[in-house]
Amino acid sequence: MPPRLRRATSSYGGVRNLSRILAVSTERGGRGTGFGENGKHEKQKLNQKVVKEESEVKPNIYANPEKIPEFEEDKKWLKDYFGECKEMIRSDGGPPRWFSPLECSSSTSPDCPLLLFLPGIDGTGLGLIMHHHKLGKMFNVWCLHIPVQDRTPFNELVKIVERTVRSENYRSPNRPIYLVGESIGACLAISVAARNPDMDLVLVLSNPATSFSQSQLQPLIPLLEMMPDQFPINLPYILSLATSYFANMLLNFLGCISNSNPLRVLMDNVVKRGPLPQIIGELSQDLATMSSYLPVLADIVPRQTLLWKLNLLKSGSACGNSCLHAVKAQLLILCSGRDQLLPSQEESQRLQKALPDCEIRMFEESGHFLFLEDNVDLVTIIKGASFYRRGKHFDCASDFMPPTPSEFKKLHDSISWVLTATSPVMLSTLEDGKVVRGLAGIPSEGPVLFVGYHMLMGFEVIPLVAQIMMERNILVRGIAHPAMFVRVKDRRPPEPELSDFDVIRVMGAVPVSAANFYKLMSSKSHALLYPGGVREALHRKGEEYKLFWPDKSEFVRMAARFGAKIIPFGVVGEDDFAEIILDYNDLMKIPWRREEIERVTSRTAKLRTDASGEIANQQMHIPWVLPKFPGRFYYYFGKPILTEEMKVELREKKKCDEMYLHIKEKDPYRNLLSRVLYQASHPGSTSPFHLPSFVATILKLR
């Protein structure tokens, strides 16, 4: 029998006051949990309503990224954490138990995986409060609450989590279970994973406490045992671990223990937040706000509870380290660069070497309480690392979650300098052959396949995807090289970190393969394909606008199978405004560079192993370039080729090859655009910056 879920009738006073916030399981978890069954009928009705609403035409919310709010409207903040903690710990008691934030259960689909949050030293289970609004759209979220006065030993906490995990796995054996653990919660997750190596678990660990033996907190255990109850050592030290700058300033004002540099914090905020008088005013307000949190912090971790939690950290660290060899789960470790509680950076490196399937994401400017920082978005992190899946394996179509408006805004803000510098001009072709400025010629309904050639370094992709998103509300999903997705443990320069490509995964990029191409076409996506691949993007001197396409019609038959519209396109600007100083041939003459290129190439996934010639010659290297000014990008999208009308014909290989050659020849309109670029580069010629002359030139030369 699953535990009974209560909202307003719990015997625990603190839970009673949270009737509008939490759905609570009052049992320890020994008889299963029934996660996902509660309110299943209501959720199905809600999902039907959501699908109906999404089918209606909506305005393009991506059209003006500057006007998109930086955070979602229903996002909660640090003050909400303290407010709900205050309610939860009031008259709190009883054993550890699970609860589900109601904001997480309102929009969760029945097929979403279960996410169990295992709290850190605070034990409240509210550590993800700033992420509930987004997590609830992807997961069935349940959080472990450990009451302030509870003294359940670590091994018993492991059993509570394990019983829950086994129960859910029995109910849904083909669905992964996510364990998100913070510090001591990370030790719990590791221990549960080690005891269940055959279970499909995904662990997301924030600053794991497996490094407690190296922590500066460990010497506090004997100190706390000797100190009298009146000595308030717990509160100042907890405050020194606070994440926001005003907490550090408050500690300096109080003369408390702090490992931060207050002067540096102040100077950082002078640069980031404006004039000093404004900062002083905000600081005063923040100090007053922080002072109101002091009683809540004291209630969350009183002296005896702190002593118990430190001992719990000690035993949890020992247990977690003793069973690392048995962990087979997929892991994502989040570590902070300014963690004053644990040596998290060093520990993440150690764990990555010890665990078979482990990735790291570093947050250089963050403190220990990572999930309570405004600029940390757990959902985006999980999506960027390709860690979100509903089944045994990641499916690029069914598991993909499109970028939220705030995620797109952050991307746009990060590339705004690129858009400003290149001032991209987009031209598309309507069905009647008319060339217009803008993207009106791009079909709204998929499947659509954009086929083009890579500019130098593939830099043209950034404005292309962003502009189509802003103007047409269409997400173009790139088919990219596997090197951007393969997890390599011992990466060394010049190999980029896998995290460098998180943004392209958030925007929907997938590794190139026949299976992924099939999935994109079958899901009616707008896909972006570069047949020339790396060889084209990393071309040599004198190879500007030269195609390196394979002889085989690799994509035509697949596109025709789903009646996809193929849009050939060309780009001009990047190669003409960046000069290659040292290309592949030059770099191979430098011994140490040659060794790096050979090492990186040998570790990169091989594509087109049956090909020969230049298309098979895809050495991984970074050419040295010198930018030129001014620069502007021009994009031309040709008339869509309707394969739906030629489905029967394109079943024959000969017909596919003919179509392929047609696309290859028509693709970039390279000569035309080069002439237009020449006009832009010479003051005496007709400027293409004006729409009429540019379009007229195209129409005249076609």
Other Cβ atoms less than 10 A from the Cβ of 137: the count is 16
What's the average pLDDT block by block, 10 residues per block, for the chain (702 residues)?
32 38 48 46 46 51 88 86 87 87 72 95 93 93 94 96 96 96 97 97 97 82 65 46 37 34 43 50 53 70 83 95 96 93 93 93 91 93 95 92 93 88 89 91 94 86 93 94 78 76 93 92 94 84 80 78 91 78 90 86 71 70 80 86 70 67 57 46 41 37 34
Calpha distance 578→436 (Å, rounded): 28
Q: Is 114 helix (H, G, I), strand (E, B) or coil?
A: strand
- Please give the C-alpha separations between residue 183 and each of 58, 124, 493, 527, in angstroms, as whole numbers: 43, 13, 30, 41
Calpha distance 85→99 (Å, rounded): 13
| 14, 89 Cβ separation under 8 angstroms | yes
Per-residue tokens: 528:
């972006």
Residue 511 φ then ψ, to 5°: -70, 145
Q: What DSSP state is assigned to residue 452?
A: -
| 443, 613 Cβ separation under 8 angstroms | no
Question: What does the pLDDT read at residue 474?
Answer: 95
DSSP per residue over 528-551, as a string?
EE-TTHHHHHT--TT-TT-----S
Per-residue tokens: 205:
């660990």
Q: What are the E-state strand segments in 41-157?
A: 97-101, 114-118, 140-145
557: closest CA among 641, 649, 656?
656
Task: Return the ∠ at Cα 222 (arms to 220 and 228), rounded to 5°.
Answer: 90
419: closest CA among 81, 66, 87?
66
Calpha distance 479→516 (Å, rounded): 8
Calpha distance 549→533 (Å, rounded): 8
Calpha distance 408→466 (Å, rounded): 9
Question: What does the pLDDT read at residue 525?
Answer: 95
Tally the residues of the chain.
702
Over 217-286, what HEC string results?
CCCHHHHHHHCCCCCCCHHHHHHHCCCCHHHHHHHHHHCCCCCCCHHHHHHHHHHHHCCHHHHHHHHHHH
Calpha distance 533→607 (Å, rounded): 9
Per-residue tokens: 12:
């625990």
Return contacts of 430-438, CB within 8 angstroms, 24+ apart.
430/639, 431/639, 431/640, 433/639, 435/636, 435/695, 435/698, 435/699, 436/695, 437/691, 437/694, 437/695, 438/471
357: closest CA among 321, 332, 381, 335?
332
Per-residue tokens: 315:
């035993």
Q: Using the structure block, give the residue that is written with the tokens 């290149």.
A: 422
702: closest CA among 463, 354, 433, 485?
433
Calpha distance 134→13 (Å, rounded): 29
Calpha distance 611→551 (Å, rounded): 9
362: closest CA among 492, 486, 207?
207
Q: Are strands 448-451 and 526-529 parallel, antiparallel or unpaired?
A: parallel
530: closest CA among 464, 470, 458, 466?
458
Q: Are strands 22-25 and 5-6 parallel, antiparallel or unpaired?
A: antiparallel
Task: Return the ∠ at Cα 323 (arms to 321 and 328), rounded to 5°.
Answer: 115
Per-residue tokens: 122:
């605070």
Question: What does the pLDDT read at residue 243?
Answer: 36
Q: Are strands 97-101 and 22-25 parallel, antiparallel or unpaired?
A: antiparallel
Domains and CATH numbers, the chain: 78-215+313-385 (3.40.50.1820), 219-305 (no CATH), 405-578+629-669 (3.40.1130), 671-701 (no CATH)
In 498-619, which residue ranges form alpha helices assigned H by DSSP? Answer: 502-506, 514-522, 533-537, 556-561, 584-587, 591-602
Question: What does the pLDDT read at residue 91?
Answer: 65
